[in-house]
Chain A
Amino acid sequence: MKNDTLVSFEGVVKRFGDFVAVKRMDFEIGKGEFLALMGSSGCGKTTTLRMLAGLEAPSEGMIRLSGKPINDLPTWSRDTPMVWQSLALFPFLNVVENVEFALKMRGVGKAERRRRAEQWLDRMQISEFAGRNISQLSGGQRQRVALARSLVVEPEILLLDEPLSALDAALKVRMQSVLKNLQRETGITFVYVTHSQSEAFSMADRVVIMSRGQIEQIGTPQEIYRTPRTRFVADFLGSSNIFTGKVTASDDGGVVLDTASGPLRLKSDERHVVTPGQTATLTVLDTRTNLAVTKPDGPVNAIPVRMIGEEFIGATATIYLETGTGQEIRVQKSHEELAGIPLEIGQELFAWWAHTDGHLVTED
């Protein structure tokens, strides 16, 4: 990822009547970056993408592309092609004519645009379908046509709005690697809207997590997964155990929370300075949470739990447990790591994790 900025959102707000779709967006997209905008439906991610494409006008704020303000630039003069969720291929044109469309609109001559379109068909490995109608193609082939149609103008940036949502699981995974490779080879900036964590995390250099029109967290997939910054992100990713309690101590030695499951200790965090008396929320990854038969010693938090279920997916197992107050927590481990732990429903165990594995998150 290079440092220079291609797109910047500066205090961008979008209202539809009384409804605020995007509250206030301030972020930048680097040149050649693969950025994912992730969130559940209605979080404003598609509106953000459409503002960048010029299909919606911001109510406030400024969007810049290569430093130039583009708020008032109509979409047809922007060079921000988009791959649509519906794909929006032209049904009355055949494959190669679909791909030629953008070149035709730019006044490229007939022979030249045919040549360039065929190059992209070749690159997307769909040359043999050039003369076919769209209705004769499979889902994956249509996907490739849509990509070729947008990329034929060789733009600096490509916008993708949940393009894989219509595909079946196996094809989805294949198209993910096609997209990732394409992005790497062309160096074109990809902005990818999705509600799917696996899509965002497997392809993107950086992920923007949105909720209710606001950015919750921006970071690499690793950063976000390891240290979710807000309660929303932790809940949304669903890979952390979450405890809320009153702060009883906060100093260089760490923070202590008095939770329903007892006092829990964690290291202090300059990003989340808390003072005794306030309420705070702690998260710990389910993969960093361990199980033991006897209460372990050392710099760890341990809480008594009762096993309520288990689930095996390939090499890992997810164990579901219940604390004394009825809160459900999860532990995710490989089978080797769980060796020696009696795994019976109703089994009394201790769930424990190192003090350094707990993180404070912002409650919203």
Chain B
Amino acid sequence: MSDRDSASINRNRAVDLALKVYIVLGYAFVFAPIAASFVFSLNSDRFPSIPLGNFSLEWYQAVASDPLVWSGLRNTLLVGITVGVIATALGFGAAYTDYRYRFFGKQVYLALALIPPTIPVVILGLAMLAYLSRISLSGNALSVIIAHVVICAPFAMAIIRLRLSQMDPDLEAAAWNLGASEWAAMRHVIVPFTKPAIFGALFITMAVSFDEFAIAWFVSGLNETLPVKVLGFLQGQVSPRINAIGTFVFVTSMTLVILAQILLTGRGAQIRPAADE
């Protein structure tokens, strides 16, 4: 492999190898707990211990037969999809505003737009609870949606903003010049160009909402999302069912993130079939 690499002549094999080992160890450190959780979710033993017992899907069956888990999943999906759509729309608007206009206080505008994820979630959750309960919006799925949109929209904005920054600055003006009104240029140029980022943002914000626990715990009331439900399990009893749910949540989030990654790294963006309305 290093033969084909034009820079190989300037590289030291020992350093190369050490760096590769370092990467493998790094990933092993990150993924070991998740892998362990996955392994024990398929183990028949009541407690996680080595040596492993028999292969078994009983914990998945137990989870699948629990109506509370299903309601949690339903809430999570409802919240996640709604949040993804709203946050992406808001993020797109904010990113386009930044791309298109120059105005007084733009730096402040950008800072404010990007701040929510930097606020500690416990504080944000508490603030959301206090505020939403005052306007009678706490304790239901809508309150989780509102709270999650607040933390997700900045991610969507950052992703779409990055894509817009890669756009030839003349492209939109070229569309106007060819007879497209501002709305037509938005529809036929800006949106198609940013489409990979829009879907990327959609998947990432869904994944963020899907995994988010602290704020949901504060504001969800009886409409608990899956992560909140997991904590409920943990507080009651240590059950391998948690491993099963954990594996499911992990696989779902990773799928969304990987989809987003594929779209954003341009493979989906570059090669497309010719005829497309």
Contact = CB atoms under 8 A, between A and B. Distances in A.
Asked if A pairs with B, the answer is yes
B260 to A, nearest CB: 19
Interface in A280-324: none
Given A84-B170, A86-B168, A105-B184, A92 B193 contact: yes
Determine the main DSSP class of A at the interface with B. loop
Contacts of A53: 177
Contact of A94 (B173, B177, B274): B274
Contacts, number: 77
Interface in B166-191: 168, 170-171, 173-181, 184, 188-189
A76 B179 contact: yes
A81 B177 contact: yes
A95 to B, nearest CB: 9
Contacts of A92: 192-193, 195, 269, 272
B178 A149 contact: yes
A19 to B, nearest CB: 15
A153 B269 CA distance: 29
Interface residues of A, number: 33
Contacts of A94: 274-275
B2 interface: no
Given A101-B188, A105-B184, A131-B274, A88 B170 contact: yes
B65 interface: no
B270 interface: yes
Interface residues of B, number: 25
Interface in B188-247: 188-189, 192-193, 195
Interface in A75-107: 75-77, 79-82, 84-86, 88, 90-94, 97, 101-102, 104-106
A93 B188 CA distance: 10
Interface string A47-79: 000000111000000000000000000111101
Contacts of B192: 90, 92-93
Query: Lowest 7 A-B CB distances belong to which pairs?
Result: A88-B174, A105-B179, A88-B170, A102-B178, A131-B274, A92-B192, A105-B180
23 contacts: A54-B177, A55-B177, A74-B176, A75-B177, A76-B177, A81-B178, A82-B177, A84-B170, A85-B170, A88-B168, A90-B174, A90-B175, A90-B189, A90-B192, A90-B193, A92-B192, A94-B275, A97-B274, A101-B178, A101-B188, A149-B178, A150-B178, A153-B179
Given A132-B274, A133-B270, 5 more contacts: A53-B177, A81-B178, A88-B173, A90-B175, A90-B193
